[in-house]
A = this chain, B = another copy of it.
Amino acid sequence: MDDREVSPGEGRQAVGVHGVRPTMKDVAEAAGVGFKTVSRVVNGEPGVNAATAQRVRVAIERLGYRRNDSARVLRRGRTASVGLVIEDVADPFYSELTRAVEEVARANGSLVLAGSSAEDPERERELVQTLCARRVDGLIVVPAGTSHEYLLPDLAAGMAVVFVDRPAGDIDTDTILTANALGARAGVEHLIRHGHRRIAFVGDAPQVFTAVERERGYREALAAAGLPADDSLVFMGPPRLTPIRAVLEEMSRLAEPPTAVLTGNSRSTVAVLRSLASVDGGAGGRRRLALVGFDDFELADLLVPGVTVVAQEPRQLGRIAAELLFRRLAGDHGPSQRIELSTRLVARGSGEIPPPVESG
Taken together as a complex, chains A and B put the C-alpha atoms of A158 and B15 apart, in Å, by 11
Are A153 and B303 in contact, with the CB atoms below 8 A? no
Are B64 and A156 in contact, with the CB atoms below 8 A? yes
Chain B residues in 8 Å Cβ range of A283 = 304
Q: Mark A297-314, 1 if CB is under 8 A from B, else 0.
A: 111001110000000000
Interface residues of A in 77-134 (CB under 8 A from B): 79, 81, 88-92, 95-96, 98-99, 102, 106, 111-116, 129-134
Taken together as a complex, chains A and B put the C-alpha atoms of A269 and B18 apart, in Å, by 46
Segment of A67-75, A140-148, A193-201, A351-359 in the binding face: A67-75
Are A270 and B298 in contact, with the CB atoms below 8 A? yes
Chain B residues in 8 Å Cβ range of A132 = 66
Chain B residues in 8 Å Cβ range of A219 = none
Does A19 reach chain B (CB closer than 8 Å)? Answer: yes
Does A237 reach chain B (CB closer than 8 Å)? Answer: no
Are A64 and B152 in contact, with the CB atoms below 8 A? yes
Q: How far, in Å, is A322 (CB) from chain B's closest CB?
A: 14
Taken together as a complex, chains A and B put the C-alpha atoms of A295 and B98 apart, in Å, by 23
Are B113 and A111 in contact, with the CB atoms below 8 A? yes
Taken together as a complex, chains A and B put the C-alpha atoms of A157 and B63 apart, in Å, by 11
Q: A64-B153, A133-B66, A157-B21 are in contact. Are A89 and B99 (CB under 8 A)?
A: yes
Are B133 and A18 in contact, with the CB atoms below 8 A? no
Does A189 reach chain B (CB closer than 8 Å)? Answer: no
Are A102 and B79 in contact, with the CB atoms below 8 A? no
Chain B residues in 8 Å Cβ range of A190 = none
Chain B residues in 8 Å Cβ range of A19 = 157-158
Copy number in the complex reads 2
Interface size class of A (residues with CB under 8 A): 35 or more
Are A270 and B282 in contact, with the CB atoms below 8 A? no
Are B303 and A299 in contact, with the CB atoms below 8 A? yes
Taken together as a complex, chains A and B put the C-alpha atoms of A158 and B89 apart, in Å, by 29
Are B99 and A116 in contact, with the CB atoms below 8 A? yes
Taken together as a complex, chains A and B put the C-alpha atoms of A71 and B71 apart, in Å, by 7
Does A154 reach chain B (CB closer than 8 Å)? Answer: yes
Does A48 reach chain B (CB closer than 8 Å)? Answer: no
Are A79 and B89 in contact, with the CB atoms below 8 A? no
Q: Other than the known A74-B74, A106-B115, A297-B299, what 15 A-B pairs have Cβ atoms closer than 8 Å?
A: A21-B157, A66-B129, A69-B135, A70-B134, A71-B74, A88-B99, A89-B95, A89-B99, A90-B98, A111-B113, A112-B114, A112-B115, A273-B302, A283-B304, A299-B303
16 sample A-B contacts, Cβ–Cβ < 8 Å, listed by A number:
A15-B156, A16-B157, A19-B157, A64-B153, A64-B156, A70-B135, A89-B95, A89-B99, A90-B92, A91-B95, A99-B116, A102-B116, A111-B131, A270-B302, A277-B302, A298-B298
